[in-house]
Amino acid sequence: MLTYRKWAAALVASLALLSNVAHADERERPPVADKVVAYAGEQGVKVWTLRIGERSANEALVQVEGIDHDWNMRIQKMQVEKTAKYTRYYTTVDGQKYAALVIQGSDSWAPSELYLPGEPNSLKVAYSQGLSEQGNAQAFLTDYLNQK
């Protein structure tokens, strides 16, 4: 029969193990930008973006919301390519590089476009300060990590 001391020791050991697992999870979280950048557009579409990893990695998390498409609410890691005129967010579709989001210039008010696989037309989107302020970078990262 287990004594009180054995039960207490088992409880302490279990709590220590759970604490180590929680700390390991925290260490495995990749760095992200401090702020989410969001865009709003035609037909109520919303696009949320967040840099993930070091800046030099040129990667971002991208979530599209408010569309009737397989990508709705799915958070995807995409490659980011910046030029003087555009910032493009790429993913792979059917084994091919696919530009899903094209942000025009450094002017946040310039019309930009969201391209969805299988859709004949792009959707116009523009930077939304209000949506961006609603975004929480750490919560967005958590949602991405839990989605896998």
Asked if residue 62 and residue 107 are part of one domain, the reply reads yes
Asked if residue 46 and residue 10 are part of one domain, the reply reads no
Asked if residue 118 and residue 45 are part of one domain, the reply reads yes
Burial 25-60 (b: 16+ CB within 10 A, else e): eeeeeeebbeebbbbbbeeebbbbbbbbeeeeeebb
pLDDT value at residue 108: 55
Structural domain of 134: 37-147
Number of domains comprising the chain:
2
Asked if residue 41 and residue 26 are part of one domain, the reply reads no
pTM of the model: 0.79
> What percent of the chain has pLDDT above 90?
72
pLDDT value at residue 3: 55
Asked if residue 21 and residue 62 are part of one domain, the reply reads no
pLDDT of 19 above 50: no
| Beta strands per DSSP E along 37-136 | 37-41, 46-52, 59-65, 75-82, 86-93, 96-104, 112-114, 123-127
pLDDT tens per residue across span 72-102: 999 999 999 999 889 999 999 999 999 999 9
Give the pLDDT band (50/70/90) at residue 26: low
Burial 61-97 (b: 16+ CB within 10 A, else e): bbbbbebeeebeeebbebebeeeeeebbbbbeeeeee
Asked if residue 106 and residue 67 are part of one domain, the reply reads yes
Give me the torsion for CA of 94, 52, 101, 46, rounded to 10°: 110
Asked if residue 10 and residue 46 are part of one domain, the reply reads no
Asked if residue 18 and residue 41 are part of one domain, the reply reads no
Asked if residue 127 and residue 76 are part of one domain, the reply reads yes
Q: How far apart are CA 45 and CA 121, in angstroms?
A: 14
Q: For residues 12 and 83, which has the higher predicted lDDT (pLDDT)?
A: 83
Asked if residue 106 and residue 68 are part of one domain, the reply reads yes
Asked if residue 76 and residue 11 are part of one domain, the reply reads no
Find out whether 61 and 50 touch, Cβ atoms under 8 Å: yes
Q: How far apart are CA 114 and CA 7, in angstroms?
A: 58
> What percent of the chain has pLDDT above 70?
77
pLDDT of 24 above 50: no
pLDDT value at residue 16: 52
Asked if residue 64 and residue 85 are part of one domain, the reply reads yes
